[in-house]
Amino acid sequence: RRSWAEPWKIKMVEPLRIISRAEREAALKAAGYNTFLLRSEDVYIDLLTDSGTNAMSDRQWAALMMGDEAYAGSRSFYRLEAAVQQAYGYRHVIPTHQGRGAEHLISRIAIQPGQYVPGNMYFTTTRLHQELAGGTFVDVIIDEAHDPLSQYPFKGNVDLDKLQTLINQVGAKQIAYISLAGTVNMAGGQPVSMANVRAVRELCDRYGIRIFLDATRLVENAFFIKEREPGYDTRTIAEIVREFCSYTDGAWMSAKKDSLVNIGGWLALNDDQLADEARNLVVVYEGLHTYGGMAGRDMEALAVGIEESLQEDYIRARIGQVRYLGELLLDWNIPIVEPIGGHAIFLDARRFYPHLPQDLFPAQTLAAELYLDSGVRAMERGIASAGRDPKTGQNHYPKLELTRLTIPRRVYTQAHMDVVAEAVKAVYDQRERARGLRMVYEPRYLRFFQARFEPI
């Protein structure tokens, strides 16, 4: 087997800074043991998120100069609109400043208070907007998704029986829409199969239920379909993305992920009336319907990023790098979510720290320990992220208690991945020493972003 390498070379570099362990201890304490509250200058390798942390290409930087900064009717908007229509196949495109701007709009226009929103596992901001619109999210993902050791190739799939049971219980009219994400972030970047989205479409057609897609990492999902699903190995990533979208009625997008930019998003809809409502609401919360909170130059860079994201050699290198890191960790028997997903390696904090109960925030503890040891920044995706049930006020206790090493696109080299793997190993070797954390400040919304902790 011959090695392959990234299909690009580096034209501009950004120096990294490493501070001492004593300085990291002080920084972590000042940040309330929450990696979201660290200053990025105090971070060595930043794997907090793949959101908005991408490196743009020379073509994208050139496109920035072409931005048309007109308030209304910007040429850059029409360029973006055409790029989204071409790549994803929807009719109407409404720009937003980022993904949650689009989540807000779709939740407001498509959910009646009291309705249910079934989805393939929750995402933090997605579920919050659904709840703020008066909806109740219901998890209908297959059970395998909650099991970090299941090797099932499409752990993002919707469980059709769970969906049918919900329809039987509450009635189709009480279902706002299906909230379908590909890949599924909180499950470990796990994909949905084409057969599954087709089957969900068939089921929904019987009841007149709409499907809206979180297309944030759909390109990465398409890579797994090409690799794993019979009949798709000869199809292009672009064709797979289009086909997937064709089974849905619209999508929202955080362009900060798949589309290789630092900011941006959109909502796309096929229904004329719904699109009119979204276009009307966008002017209230985001900006005019031809910029939605983005500068003209952002829309130009995004249009180019969409094209680049669909290139086969790009996506193979992207997922290949994530896999490279995951395989290093598996070689050392470090517990991670398997199969390795699209955008990140998820350390399984339950198996990493079997002595820590979930109330002591094992995944948050692991993120803190990793930063202390090496300056590598990860993110909690466990009980802190899951938040509380809005009706009862009780903590959600998610089955998955994970620490995410999220890989920005086109930013770090293979040597950085080696350093990260060694850092995780060093923390693993001292795992018995970890004592856990207690939460001392809890914000009302999306608490994981700003919560503060203290060591036990």
Q: Which residues bind ligand F0G (CB under 6 A)?
A: 49, 51, 98-100, 123, 125-126, 181, 185, 214, 216, 254, 256, 265
Q: Of 21, 71, 143, 173, which residue is the catalytic one?
A: 71
Task: Please say whether the beta carbons of 85 and 107 come within 8 A.
Answer: no
381 is annotated as an active-site residue:
yes
Closest distance of CB 62 from ligand F0G, Å: 24
Residue with smaller CB distance to ligand F0G, 180 or 360: 180
257 is annotated as an active-site residue:
yes
Q: What three-state secondary structure class fits 453?
A: strand
71 is annotated as an active-site residue:
yes
d(CA 276, CA 291): 15
Closest distance of CB 20 from ligand F0G, Å: 28
Residue with smaller CB distance to ligand F0G, 51 or 130: 51
Q: What three-state secondary structure class fits 348?
A: strand
With tokens 């794993």, the residue in question is 228
Closest distance of CB 56 from ligand F0G, Å: 16
d(CA 124, CA 185): 10
Residue with smaller CB distance to ligand F0G, 84 or 434: 84
Q: Of 42, 46, 159, 214, which residue is the catalytic one?
A: 214
**Angle, CA 346 vertex, CA 192 and CA 118 arms, to 5°:** 40
Closest distance of CB 126 from ligand F0G, Å: 5
Q: Of 24, 100, 381, 404, which residue is the catalytic one?
A: 381
Residue 431 CB contacts under 8 Å (≥ 6 apart), including other chains: 352, 353
d(CA 400, CA 143): 12
Closest distance of CB 432 from ligand F0G, Å: 30
When CB distances to ligand F0G are compared, the closest residue is: 99
Residue with smaller CB distance to ligand F0G, 107 or 125: 125
162 is annotated as an active-site residue:
no
Task: Please say whether the beta carbons of 180 and 192 come within 8 A.
Answer: yes
448 is annotated as an active-site residue:
yes
CB atoms within 10 A of CB 125: 18
Q: What three-state secondary structure class fits 178?
A: strand
Length of the chain: 456
Q: Of 100, 217, 257, 410, which residue is the catalytic one?
A: 257
Token duo for residue 263: 């900011």
124 is annotated as an active-site residue:
yes
Residue with smaller CB distance to ligand F0G, 42 or 214: 214
447 is annotated as an active-site residue:
no
Active site residues: 71, 123-124, 214, 257, 381, 448
